[in-house]
């Protein structure tokens, strides 16, 4: 039961989809405030919630030619937080995330579709425990402007997605714990000319 909806991936193209630039411009993820939460339903009771940190990194984006925008995102599997050390260990161990062997959750973009109203649909391959499956991320811009304390262009947006954990070989406690994982992530990124 993990959910990485991947999502740093969501970040970089969330921002990419909404900024107008003449040439590729580098951005860096706000790893302090950005998180990739997920929820899953256990035993029919209220959903259980966990989260992953957004991995550090920079990405270029060319608004004139989106094919120039390289999109690869990596989230550290060991950053999982479920609110309890034993519960964290259970999910990270063999049979679930296999985090000792597969230390990252990766997303690589295949295409991005810019939609109306500051939205976008981003598709790519999500890799969890060495299994890669196609996923789609729905992106919406929350705010795009100068950060009040950093004094640098900043974008924040929400990315949502859903996956089936059995497709990645994660079948722990099925079917009493749902195989459906949903994520709604808040992601931020900074314009970083020196990145």
Per-domain boundaries in the chain? 7-191
CA 67 to chain centre: 20
Residue range 25-31: average pLDDT? 81
Backbone angles phi, psi at 54, to 5 degrees: -85, 130
Do residues 176 and 5 make contact, with C-beta atoms less than 8 angstroms apart? no
Mean predicted lDDT score pLDDT of the chain: 79
Predicted model pTM: 0.76
Question: pLDDT (tens digit, 9 = 90+) per residue, 134-146?
Answer: 999 998 878 878 8
Residues in the chain: 195
Which of 83, 64, 61 has the alpha carbon at shortest distance from 15? 61
- Alpha-carbon gap, residue 156 to 32, rounded angstroms: 13
Do residues 34 and 192 make contact, with C-beta atoms less than 8 angstroms apart? no
Question: pLDDT (tens digit, 9 = 90+) per residue, 68-81?
Answer: 556 677 889 999 99
Residue range 147-173: average pLDDT? 88
| Locus of tokens 């094919």 | 67
Other Cβ atoms within 10 Å of 16 Cβ, number? 28
Topology of the domain comprising 7-191? Lipocalin (2.40.128)
What pLDDT score was predicted for residue 68? 58
Q: Which two tokens stand for residue 99?
A: 């985090």
Other Cβ atoms within 10 Å of 15 Cβ, number? 27
- Alpha-carbon gap, residue 131 to 4, rounded angstroms: 13
Do residues 82 and 88 make contact, with C-beta atoms less than 8 angstroms apart? yes
């Amino acid at each position: 039961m993990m959910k990485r909806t991947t999502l740093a991936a969501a970040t970089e193209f969330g921002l990419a989809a909404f900024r107008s630039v003449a040439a590729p411009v580098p951005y860096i993820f706000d790893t302090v405030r950005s998180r990739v939460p997920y929820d899953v339903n256990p035993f029919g009771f209220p959903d259980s919630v966990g989260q992953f940190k957004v991995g550090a990194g920079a990405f270029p984006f060319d608004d004139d030619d989106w094919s120039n925008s390289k999109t690869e995102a990596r989230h550290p599997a060991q950053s999982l937080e479920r609110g309890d050390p034993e519960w964290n260990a259970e999910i990270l161990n063999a049979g679930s995330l296999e985090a000792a062997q597969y230390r990252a959750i990766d997303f690589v973009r295949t295409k991005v579709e810019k939609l109306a109203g500051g939205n976008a649909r981003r598709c790519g391959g999500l890799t969890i425990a060495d299994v890669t499956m196609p996923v789609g991320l729905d992106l919406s811009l929350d705010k795009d402007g100068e950060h009040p304390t950093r004094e640098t262009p900043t974008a924040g947006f929400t990315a949502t997605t859903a996956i089936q954990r059995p497709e990645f070989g994660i079948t722990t406690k099925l079917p009493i714990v749902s195989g459906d994982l949903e994520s709604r992530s808040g992601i931020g990124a900074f314009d970083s000319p020196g990145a």
